[in-house]
Chain A
Amino acid sequence: MAEEAAYLHFRDDSPHEEPAVTLDSFLADQSNATAVRVEPGDEARALIPHLDRLALIEVSFPSFRDGRGYSTARILREAGYRGELRAEGDVLVDQIPLMRRCGFDSFAPAAPIDAAVLQRSLARYPQPYQKAADGAVPVWKLRHG
């Protein structure tokens, strides 16, 4: 069932299948595309005028150590993007809960993810300390209403 493990999807719709174009191509001459791929060094804010036309933004993680994509995700969600936000590449199971908090709702990890470990990870923390992109209620809000 390796194929099933290749995508992790936390949305009601099904994964968007159209191949993503690079951010440069999208901005230069492929503005009709509905799927865009953002690399760690790309300026994600360049997509903000086009967000309502996009169905998929794929954020690339060439190395699990490179955390720029977490900021990319939050910036896109803060700008109002509602479409599929996919983390693709060197994505490890222990990172997925944090990525969910940053607004990712779809994952295409290069290596398969152990479903049982992931399930435990996602259920583990009862509440976060800080507000982020996932709507989880932070501790200070629980304390003070």
Chain B
Amino acid sequence: MYRYDEYDQSIVDARVDEFRDQVRRRLAGEITEDQFKPLRLMNGLYLQLHAYMLRVAVPYGTLDSRQMRMLAHVARTYDRGYGHFTTRQNIQYNWIRLDQAPDILAELATVEMHAIQTSGNCIRNISSDQYAGAAADEVADPRPWAELIRQWSTFHPEFTYLPRKFKIAVIAAEEDRAAMRLHDIGIRLTRRDGVLGATVFVGGGMGRTPMIAHEIRDFVTADDLMSYLEACLRVYNRYGRRDNIYKARIKILLHEIGPDEYRRQVEEEFAKVKALGIDPPAAELARITAMFAPPAFDPAAAGDVADRSDPDFAVWLDQNVRAHRQPGYAIVNISLKPVGGIPGDASADQIDVMADLAQRYGFDELRVTHAQNIVLPHVRIADLKAVWSALVDAGLAEANLDLISDIIACPGLDYCSLANARSIPLAQKIGERFADPARQRDLGELKLKISGCINACGHHHAGHIGILGVDRKGTENFQLLLGGSGAEDVSLGRITGPGFDEDGVVDAIERVTDKYLEVRETGERFVDTYRRVGMTPFKEAIYG
């Protein structure tokens, strides 16, 4: 885990002081709401339908038990006793008072946390693979590179008033668990002739015009990475569109000038920027990397679960536990998707339970996933039963990872001032319709994602099944999409046809899954079948 030194701490402390001053000036009427808005947004504070929402950064989704307990404390003290984990691997609180926001930031700063750049037209929290440091298929731990980028992008003086928000993801495996190519910049670490470097993809994103990022540079070494990113951002800052908020993301710039022309401009800029000496020395990446050294695994740890006699435990093992690269250890996924629950929500007590488990059984580490679940990345196989029992007691043992009820959903019209439709009640209805665990397991991997408006915070374009809530003449209407993926087989979903009301879309999903069961071939996931047979059979099943 990364640990702040005096420099990191002083910057975060200064930010608390700065934000306190900004809030004071706003409350005193010295600045207008229009002027305050970009300042509070740069600190993750949104004005929603009922209250302020505060989004706290969890850099690359990694945190320890002390930080996790602080998140529980904030939920208890300043909110209504719960928090909502987001698709950006952050957490947000929906019932915050403006005058208390500086105090929350001050408390967070005591555990090396903040809300810097969790909103606004700037470089946002860097996201990464939730299995980093535990997965067998990674070429290196991507998080030191993500931390290097975090520091470079924090209060970057040139890139704080970009045309639009800017999201960067860093992964280091062929399997993409972070939707890397749906980011403004996606980075995949790779080795060439023994040297670690980055393949850089630019111009992905969801929103109303979803696009998959183009490969812009096949290999950049760590020595050049900051200069290269600075060039990528400078071209965007200068030439990205500012006349229309819906065309302001970098994906539109790439679409309009083409990836080749963008690449040419970046290379030209890079040649100039590289001469400025803005790249940190290799010693800085080495310093950070040392903090992500593997924990002290027990080489004698047993490799198998001794007792699978409890059928519920066995199902959870098969569904939520993944292989670790260290013999005798496993990766535990804690589902925040109980049937009838709100996807990504956890109570303060549940957050504390997860912190306790991480401390006792997991080398003090937790991860937030973009699918709005929590991961304990390093658990001894011999401890899995004890972890599971504690999760059962806390209502956190839902065995549905990557199944149809493991739904990604935005907060929707229950909270968000941008939304057209309510995502949460729909997610609950779908969960209830498919509540039978055996039925879910029979359907297999099926990623269902719901957005309550076209901004696509719920990643509906990347769902094997996606749902988009729209406003149709004053009533909530849901469009159904099929065939998207945010993984290494990245693709964008297609709309099936006319939309539905809330019950109608649940029925339509059931017709789609029934059709899948009817036509699938051995070993095919839903999305594989869709790719083989195309839209037509599903369309007939839905509208027939």
Identify the A interface with B (CB < 8 A).
40, 64-68, 70-71, 74, 78, 92, 94-95, 97-99, 101-102, 114, 117, 120-121, 124-132, 138-140, 142-144
Contact = CB atoms under 8 A, between A and B. Distances in A.
B426 interface: no
B264 to A, nearest CB: 15
Contacts of A125: 11, 14, 155
B304 interface: no
B155 A129 contact: yes
A122 to B, nearest CB: 11
Contact of A64 (B21, B161, B278): B161
Given A117-B21, A138-B280, 5 more contacts: A67-B158, A70-B160, A130-B226, A140-B151, A140-B280
Interface stretch (B281-289, B374-382, B409-417, B431-439): B281-289
A106 B155 CA distance: 21
A127 B18 CA distance: 14
B152 A130 contact: yes
Most chain A beta carbons < 10 A, residue from B5, B11, B272: B11
Contacts of B237: 67-68, 70-71
B252 to A, nearest CB: 16
A67 B160 contact: yes
B39 interface: yes
Chain B contact residues: helix, strand, loop or mixed: helix
Nearest to B238: A71
A142 B7 contact: yes
Contacts of A65: 38, 121, 161
A132 B233 CA distance: 14
Nearest to B5: A143
Contacts of A40: 242
A142 B5 CA distance: 12
Contacts of A102: 157-158
10 contacts: A67-B161, A71-B237, A101-B157, A102-B157, A124-B14, A127-B11, A129-B155, A139-B11, A140-B284, A144-B283
Contacts of A70: 157-161, 237
A132 B284 contact: no
A-B pairs with the 4 shortest C-beta distances? A67-B161, A101-B157, A140-B280, A98-B157
A71 B234 contact: yes
Contact of A74 (B5, B158, B284): B158
B77 interface: no
A131 B278 contact: yes
A139 B7 contact: yes
A67 B121 CA distance: 10
A66 B242 contact: yes
Contact of B155 (A92, A99, A120, A128): A128
Contacts of A78: 272, 276
A65 to B, nearest CB: 6
A94 B155 contact: no
B238 A140 contact: no
